[in-house]
Amino acid sequence: MMDLTQILVVIEADEPNQPALDKAVILAKFADCELELIVSDFNSFLEDGYFYDPLQAKELRYQHGEHRLAELEAMAAPLRRQGLTVSVSTAWENPPHKGVVSRAKMLDASLVIKTTRKHSKLARHFLSNEDWELVRYCPVPLLLVKDLPWSSKPTFIAAIDPEHRHDKPSNLDQKLISSTLALAAICGGDMHLYHSSWKPPFAGLYPLDADSARSEQALLALAQDYEIKEEVCHCDNDPVALSLPKLGESIGASAVVMGAISRSRIDRVMIGSTAERLLDELECDVFIIKPDQLPALNQFLL
């Protein structure tokens, strides 16, 4: 179940538009929760011994942090006048996502929200983008938002795998459904369930046959446990990267809620995760829910 009390909003430094902040304000007003705005950045030019001696570098980093705090305070001021409780913070970390993860843990945040931009093919190949690092290591639910605004009655899709074909923890589907139901209730919106019964090609040669009837039965059985109507359940035989974006567009989804599991570095380079592959394919926002057990932040960063 999702209980929104504190939302950590990752602000993009020097960007005129802040979609993450726009969505955070919507949720804060619905849920009557607090916001914290954070800028986590790093510049090697301001490190000791790069261009400056340690004392100069320390002073310049301090001035940089004060400048960022002033920018955040300027964003927070009009929100406070609207009655919202807003705090601000900065972090100096390399890579920057570590600062966001640390602050989320310190705050015991309910949710982290970050704007995501279109990624290049090269960035997708190496899977080193800051968005994807947060997908792996953020200890709380993560909402990656795009420029698409939410409707007054937003629709959310829970992408589940009731057959556990992709080796997810057994309770992840329940966590995805309960979180999506809570999100829809908070926003006064609707939810849909989605499952793809597509199986990957055998040895890269040809796709395996899917038992569509069994897959649909598993989906509906899980939906029945939560009293979700059959007409909002969608089972598809096509690959997720094709069918899920198509469904999202057809029903005007505001966000897709999906699970993500951290893997070894080799697995990430070879196949990545469903969330990573779909991040650029979906026009709507992507809401990441993690299993209960998370890897340590420094795991796989050798």
Q: What's the number of domains the chain is made of?
A: 2
Residue 4 lies in a domain: yes
- pLDDT tier at 267 (50, 70, 90 boundaries)? very low
Residue 46 lies in a domain: yes
- Using a pLDDT cut of 90, give the percent of the chain over it: 55
248's tokens: 């999202």
CA distance 160 to 172: 8
Task: Say whether pLDDT at 184 is over 90.
Answer: yes
Strands 206-207 and 201-202: antiparallel
Indicate whether 82 and 19 sit together in one domain: yes
Task: Say whether pLDDT at 299 is over 80.
Answer: no
**Other residues' Cβ atoms within 10 Å of the Cβ of residue 252:** 14
**Domain finish residue from 90, 115, 140:** 115
Residue-level pLDDT at 298: 40
Give the three-state DSSP class for 103: helix
Indicate whether 81 and 1 sit together in one domain: yes
- Whether residue 95 has a cis bond before it, omega within 30° of 0: yes
The residue with tokens 């598993």 is 218
* DSSP annotation of 208: P
Indicate whether 62 and 107 sit together in one domain: yes
Residue 134 lies in a domain: no
Strand ranges inside 178-275, DSSP E: 190-196, 201-202, 206-207, 233-236, 255-259
Indicate whether 78 and 19 sit together in one domain: yes
**Domain finish residue from 65, 94, 115:** 115
CA distance 195 to 217: 11
**Other residues' Cβ atoms within 10 Å of the Cβ of residue 206:** 8
* 54-73 exposure pattern, b = at least 16 Cβ within 10 A, e = fewer: eeebeebbeeebeebeebbe
Residue-level pLDDT at 3: 83
Contact between residue 4 and residue 25 where contact means Cβ atoms under 8 Å apart:
no
Residue 133 lies in a domain: no
Strands 34-41 and 86-92: parallel
CATH number at residue 71: 3.40.50.12370
279 φψ region: left (φ > 0), alpha (ψ -120 to 50), beta (else)? alpha
pLDDT in tens, 205-263: 555 555 678 888 999 999 999 999 999 999 988 888 889 999 999 999 999 999 876 55
Residue-level pLDDT at 270: 34
Strands 190-196 and 155-159: parallel
Residue 260 lies in a domain: yes
Indicate whether 298 and 169 sit together in one domain: yes
Indicate whether 107 and 162 sit together in one domain: no
Cα angle, residue 283 at apex, residues 12 and 139 outer, rounded to 5°? 55
Indicate whether 155 and 299 sit together in one domain: yes
**Other residues' Cβ atoms within 10 Å of the Cβ of residue 195:** 27
- pLDDT tier at 152 (50, 70, 90 boundaries)? very high
CA distance 109 to 251: 31
Residue-level pLDDT at 204: 54
CA distance 296 to 299: 5
pLDDT in tens, 6-59: 999 999 988 999 999 999 999 999 999 999 999 999 887 777 656 767 788 788
Query: Where in the sequence is the domain holding 15, given as residue range(s)?
Result: 1-115
pLDDT in tens, 66-122: 999 999 999 999 999 999 999 999 999 989 999 999 999 999 999 999 999 776 655
Residue 122 lies in a domain: no
Indicate whether 157 and 294 sit together in one domain: yes
Please tell me which of 84-88, 129-133, 178-182, 263-267 the model is most confident about, judged by mean pLDDT: 84-88
Residue 210 lies in a domain: yes
CA distance 108 to 127: 27
Residue 127 lies in a domain: no
